[in-house]
């Protein structure tokens, strides 16, 4: 018997979990010596004390209710709560309580496991997931808004607004004087004293330098976000400079109200270049970071034994990361359709319609001739693809159509695209801008677009594009 007691005591002395026995009123009758390592108390200090004295005040009410339910149901339960060490440090604990209702004074056996590190890891993973979502949505909204920025002052205002929103207390400013004895490369982040500086461009021989408090950048992903934000701004800034110069040239060259074809072509080419750069940047930075975080979480789930409830939460986070990765890939594909040149126009449009059809409320009918022998340039291919995207956006947001039709064919040395829907045919300001953009896109390709929008008759649009037209920027 003495050997059995010694063996039992050895197990209690070396178990990682704290074991204790409490009575009906939660008074501690026995607790294992390892409570000293876990909470800083010696067993004799806790003898006859209420076990709930060790709980965080905010968790007591919930635990009192759980204890009452346990005594009533006579069923074991498991719960998580915060514990206060003797030195005041807060630790997370997971306890399993087994009632012994047939014992005198209704004893209960309590097993307490310190899960602080696991909890911190969960909170850190959740924080990084949420922060990634915030930063990703910020870049998405910012890049979308940049398409409406037409002046340097608008860009400056929008940039400052985004910095204040994502990095509170960053005190963002735009400096227009070069700092002394400091060389700043375009788009490169430099830390000077307590400031982070990024040069986003020059205008009228004055620099535009973004400045924020360095202390607000706490994570690598925030540095990547800031550099990406600056890069977006830098490209728009450069485009605004170019557009400003072109407008000055146009004002001296012509008073015509119609925008020249070469200007439209230039603007759309710049837009496509910007989209390509944004797509590549998202793919090579934000997307890769998300994939890396997902793989780390996947490895964690496969490598360690994790409580079922916690594992369920982590699997939920894992699925959330997969959704974010999917959304980023969709955004990249929208910015720059993959394999457009390799697949050709017809096949790429079929893939687009197949993808849209999954989530749309209208039926898409597409007919096309074999266009593989037509000498379509990459610019013409992407231009027609964008026109189709704009018409799909019209159908999604404005037409309320049940069916839309696309017909693509070659006739009289022209490529013709005919669109029709059975929608309501009503026009709004945003819809008018979208259709104007379609007309300008067609004009930039040297073609013309006939558009008819009548209430109750839906939208009819016909593109005629000469396929052998030689065009020049000058």
Q: Which two tokens stand for residue 285?
A: 């930075």
Question: 5: burial class by Cβ within 10 Å (0-12, 13-18, 19+)?
Answer: exposed
Pick the more confident residue, 203 or 225. 225
- The pLDDT mean for the chain works out to 84
400 and 270, same domain (yes or no): no
322 and 394, same domain (yes or no): no
Mean pLDDT of all residues in 347-373: 88
Asked whether residue 474 is assigned to any structural domain, the reply reads: no
97 and 130, same domain (yes or no): no
Asked whether residue 270 is assigned to any structural domain, the reply reads: yes
Which pLDDT value is given to residue 470? 47
- Per-residue pLDDT at 258 exceeds 70: no
Which pLDDT value is given to residue 134? 92
Asked whether residue 28 is assigned to any structural domain, the reply reads: yes
Pick the more confident residue, 299 or 136. 136
Determine how many CB atoms are found less than 10 A away from the CB of residue 100: 13
Which pLDDT value is given to residue 302? 79
Of the candidates 313, 285, 324, the one whose C-alpha atom is nearest the C-alpha of residue 126 is 313
Determine how many CB atoms are found less than 10 A away from the CB of residue 39: 23
Of the candidates 39, 46, 116, the one whose C-alpha atom is nearest the C-alpha of residue 81 is 116
- Per-residue pLDDT at 162 exceeds 50: yes
Which pLDDT value is given to residue 474? 35
Domain boundary among 300, 335, 370: 335
- Per-residue pLDDT at 13 exceeds 60: no
Asked whether residue 209 is assigned to any structural domain, the reply reads: yes
402: domain CATH number is 3.30.565.10
Which pLDDT value is given to residue 270? 80
- Per-residue pLDDT at 256 exceeds 60: no
275 and 387, same domain (yes or no): no
- Per-residue pLDDT at 266 exceeds 90: no
User: Which backbone phi and psi does 126 adopt, to 5 degrees?
Assistant: -65, -40
Asked whether residue 47 is assigned to any structural domain, the reply reads: yes
Question: Of the given ranges (40-49, 331-340, 376-385), which has the lowest mean pLDDT?
Answer: 331-340
Which pLDDT value is given to residue 108? 93
Mean pLDDT of all residues in 371-397: 87
109 and 198, same domain (yes or no): no
Asked whether residue 471 is assigned to any structural domain, the reply reads: no
Residue-wise pLDDT for 229-240, tens only, equals 999 999 999 888
Determine how many CB atoms are found less than 10 A away from the CB of residue 251: 9
Question: Of the given ranges (7-16, 35-44, 110-119, 133-142), which has the lowest mean pLDDT?
Answer: 7-16
- Domain holding 369, by residue range, is 340-466
Mean pLDDT of all residues in 420-448: 81
- Per-residue pLDDT at 185 exceeds 60: yes
315 and 346, same domain (yes or no): no
- Per-residue pLDDT at 472 exceeds 70: no
| Residue % of the chain over a pLDDT of 70 | 92
77: domain CATH number is 3.30.450.20
Domain boundary among 312, 335, 358: 335
Of the candidates 194, 23, 192, the one whose C-alpha atom is nearest the C-alpha of residue 101 is 23
110 and 233, same domain (yes or no): no
| Residue % of the chain over a pLDDT of 90 | 35
378 and 462, same domain (yes or no): yes
Instruction: Compute the CA torsion angle 358, 359, 365, 369 (nearest 10 deg).
Output: -60
- Per-residue pLDDT at 6 exceeds 70: no
Which pLDDT value is given to residue 111? 92
Asked whether residue 473 is assigned to any structural domain, the reply reads: no
- Per-residue pLDDT at 321 exceeds 50: yes
- Per-residue pLDDT at 378 exceeds 90: no
pLDDT band at 5 (very low <50, low <70, confident <90, very high): low
Report the number of distinct structural domains present in the chain.
3
Mean pLDDT of all residues in 420-431: 76
Domain boundary among 311, 335, 359: 335
Residue-wise pLDDT for 405-419, tens only, equals 999 998 888 899 999
pLDDT band at 473 (very low <50, low <70, confident <90, very high): very low
321 and 361, same domain (yes or no): no
- Per-residue pLDDT at 471 exceeds 70: no
What lies within 8 Å, CB to CB, of 284 at 6+ separation is: none
Mean pLDDT of all residues in 9-21: 71
Query: Given phi > 0 = left and psi -120 to 50 = alpha, else beta, which region is 436?
Result: alpha
420 and 371, same domain (yes or no): yes
163: domain CATH number is 3.30.450.40
454 and 375, same domain (yes or no): yes
Mean pLDDT of all residues in 347-362: 88
Which pLDDT value is given to residue 187? 82
225 and 316, same domain (yes or no): yes
Which pLDDT value is given to residue 148? 84
Q: What is the crossing angle of helices 116-146 and 287-303, to 10°?
A: 160
Asked whether residue 138 is assigned to any structural domain, the reply reads: yes
pTM of the model: 0.43
- Per-residue pLDDT at 306 exceeds 80: no
Question: Of the given ranges (244-258, 372-386, 413-427), which has the lowest mean pLDDT?
Answer: 244-258
Strands 403-411 and 363-368: parallel
CA distance 449 to 443: 8
Mean pLDDT of all residues in 195-223: 89
- Per-residue pLDDT at 39 exceeds 70: yes
């Amino acid at each position: 018997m003495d050997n059995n007691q010694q063996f039992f005591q050895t197990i209690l002395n070396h178990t990682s979990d704290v074991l204790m026995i409490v009575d009906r009123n939660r008074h501690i009758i026995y607790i294992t010596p390892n409570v000293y390592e876990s909470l800083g108390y010696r067993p004799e200090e806790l003898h006859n004390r209420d076990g709930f004295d060790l709980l965080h005040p905010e968790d007591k009410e919930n635990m009192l209710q759980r204890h009452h339910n346990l005594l009533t149901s006579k069923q074991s339960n498991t719960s998580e709560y915060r514990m206060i060490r003797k030195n005041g440090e807060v630790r997370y604990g997971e306890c399993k309580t087994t009632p012994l209702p047939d014992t005198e004074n209704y004893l209960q056996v309590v097993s307490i496991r310190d899960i602080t590190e696991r909890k911190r890891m969960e909170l850190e993973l959740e924080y990084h997931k949420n922060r990634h979502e915030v930063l990703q949505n910020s870049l998405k909204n910012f890049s979308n808004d940049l398409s409406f920025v037409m002046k340097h002052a608008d860009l400056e205002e929008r940039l400052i607004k985004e910095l204040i929103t994502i990095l509170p207390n960053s005190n963002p400013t735009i400096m227009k004087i070069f700092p002394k004895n400091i060389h700043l490369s375009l788009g490169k982040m430099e830390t000077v004293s307590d400031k982070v500086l990024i040069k986003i461009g020059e205008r009228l021989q004055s620099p535009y330098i973004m400045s924020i408090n360095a202390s607000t950048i706490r994570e690598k992903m925030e540095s990547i976000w800031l550099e990406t934000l600056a890069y977006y701004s830098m490209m728009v800034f450069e485009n605004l400079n170019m557009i400003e110069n072109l407008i000055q040239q146009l004002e001296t060259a012509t008073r015509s109200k119609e925008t020249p074809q070469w200007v439209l072509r230039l603007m759309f080419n710049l837009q496509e270049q910007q989209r390509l750069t944004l797509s590549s940047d998202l793919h090579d930075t934000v997307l890769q970071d998300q994939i890396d975080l997902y793989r780390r979480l996947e490895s964690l789930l496969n490598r360690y034994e994790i409580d079922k409830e916690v594992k369920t939460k982590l699997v939920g986070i894992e699925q959330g990361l997969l959704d974010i990765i999917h959304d980023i890939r969709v955004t990249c594909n929208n910015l720059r359709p993959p394999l457009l040149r390799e697949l050709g126009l017809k096949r790429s449009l079929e893939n687009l319609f197949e993808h849209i059809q999954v989530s749309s409320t209208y039926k898409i009918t597409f007919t096309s001739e074999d266009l593989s022998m037509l000498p379509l340039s990459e610019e013409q291919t992407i231009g027609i693809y964008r026109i189709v995207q704009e018409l799909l956006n019209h159908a999604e947001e404005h037409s309320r159509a049940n069916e839309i039709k696309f017909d693509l064919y070659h006739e009289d040395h022209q490529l013709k695209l005919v669109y029709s829907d059975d929608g309501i045919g009503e026009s709004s300001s945003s819809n008018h801008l979208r259709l104007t953009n379609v007309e300008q896109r067609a004009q930039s390709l040297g073609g013309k677009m006939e558009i008819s929008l009548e209430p109750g008759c839906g939208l009819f649009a016909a593109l005629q594009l000469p396929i052998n037209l030689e065009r020049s920027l000058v």
